[in-house]
Every structure is written in C-alpha cells, then in structure tokens.
Amino acid sequence: MIINHPLLGPRDAAEFIYLGDAALIDRPDWQAEDAMQQFHDYAYLRDNPAGPHRELWYHEQGDRSWLVVTRDTTTHEITDVQMARDVARSRGRDK
C-alpha cells in the first residue's frame, strides 16, 4: 500500500506501523464520574467497519508523525490522510 503523507508525499506502507481505530485519539476524561466505564470502552471496544475506516498509522521509518488515514477496509482505497496532531487538536485535545 501507498500512503500519501501530507508533508512528504506518497510513501510505501512498509515505512509505517499500524495502530488501528483513530477513536484512540478521543481519550476519556480521567476525572469523569464514569471514568472507569469510559476507559474500559476506550481500551477495548472498537468498531470494525467493512468500508471506510479512520485509522492511525505511525511513520516510524520516516518523520515519526502519527497520521489519521481514511482507508476502505474492503478495497484498501485511501481517501484522506491527515496529521494526527491536527486531528487531535481539532477534536479539542490540548495539554
């Protein structure tokens, strides 16, 4: 597979490490009343769609950036690649 890195252009997926569902960015609030339940869901429950999937890839043999790649799990078509840091910020993550 080829991942079109937003900064570096198309690179072989062999340079990357796969993590999985980009929902891992949305880490729960540790002080929430139901933090235990939320963290349980965060750690263990994942959607496994047949179709477009937003997922985390790490450019380990590259610039060490984490990317959010939208990939169709049935065709491997990649329709979008973003820097995960930007995604995290846009989802309200801070310090």
Partner 1 sequence: MPDYTLISTPPLAGYDKIFGTTRLHAPADLAIVSIALPLGAEDAALKAVKSAYGAALPEPGRSTLTKEGARLVRLGSDQAFVIFTHATPDAERAVATRLKGTAYTTDQTDVWTGLEITGPDSRTVLERICPVDLHRDAFAEGDAARTVMEHLGALIVRTGEDTFLLLSASSSANSFLHAVETSIRNTS
Partner 2 sequence: MTQKNRISGGQIDRTRTVAFTFNGKRMAGHPGDTLASALLANGQRLVGRSFKYHRPRGILTAGSEEPNALVELRSGAQQEPNTRATTVELFDGLAANSQNHRGPLEFDLMALTDLMSPFLSAGFYYKTFMWPRAFWEKLYEPVIRASAGLGRLSMQDDPDSYDKGFIHCDLLVIGAGPAGLSAALAAGRAGARVVLADEDFTPGGRLNAETHAVDDMAGADWAAQAVAELAAMDNVRLMPRTTVYGAYDHGTYGALERCTDHLSDAGGKPRQVLWRIYSKRAVLAAGATERPIAFGNNDRPGIMLAGAVRTYANRFGVTPGQEVAVFTNNDDGWRTAADLLARGVAVPAVIDTRDAPAPIDLPGIRHVRNAAVMDTVGRKGLKSITLTDGQVIPADTLAVSGGWNPNVHLTCHQRGRPEWRDDLNAFVPGASLPAGMAVAGAANGALTLAAALAEGQAAANAQIEALGFTPAKTDAPRAEDEPSTCSAFWHVRESRKRAWLDQQNDVTVKDVKLSYREGFRSVEHLKRYTTLGMATDQGKTANIPALAIMAECTGKTIPETGTTIFRPPYTPIPLGALAGRARGTDFRPYRLTPSHNWATENGATFVEVGNWLRAQWFARPGEKGWRDSVDREVEMTRNSVGICDVTTLGKIDIQGRDAAEFLNKVYANGFAKLPVGKVRYGLMLREDGIAYDDGTTARMSENHFVMTTTTANAVLVFRRLEFARQCLWPNMDVHLISTTDGWAQFAVAGPNARNLLRKVVDESHDISNEAFPFMACSEITVCGGMPARLFRISFSGELAYEIAVPARYGNSMMDVLIEAGREFNATPYGTEALGVMRIEKGHAAGPELNGQTTAHNLGMGRMVSQKKECIGNVLSQRPDMIRDDAVKLVGVRPVNRAEPLTAGSHFVNRGETASTETDQGWMTSVAYSPSLGHSVGLGFIRRGDERMGEIVRAVNPLKGGETEVEIVSAHFIDPEGERLRA
| Contacts (CB under 8 A) with partner 1, residues 27-86 | 60-65, 83
How does DSSP assign 52-75, residue by residue? EEEEEEE-TTTT--EEEEEEETTT
Judged by beta carbon distances under 5 to 8 A according to partner kind, the member of partner 1, partner 2, none in contact with residue 81 is none
7 binds partner 1 (CB under 8 A): yes
Judged by beta carbon distances under 5 to 8 A according to partner kind, the member of partner 2, partner 1, none in contact with residue 27 is partner 2
Kindly state the smallest distance separating residue 48's Cβ from partner 2, in Å.
Answer: 19
9 binds partner 1 (CB under 8 A): yes
Q: Which of 11, 70, 87, 88 binds partner 1 (CB under 8 A)?
A: 11
How does DSSP assign 11-51, residue by residue? EEGGG-EEEEEGGGGSPPPTTSTTHHHHHHHHHH-----SS
Distance CA 22, CA 18 (A): 11
| Contacts (CB under 8 A) with partner 2, residues 19-48 | 19, 24-25, 27-28, 30-31, 35-36, 39-40, 42-44
Query: Strand 66-72 to strand 52-58: parallel, antiparallel, or no bridges (unpaired)?
Result: antiparallel
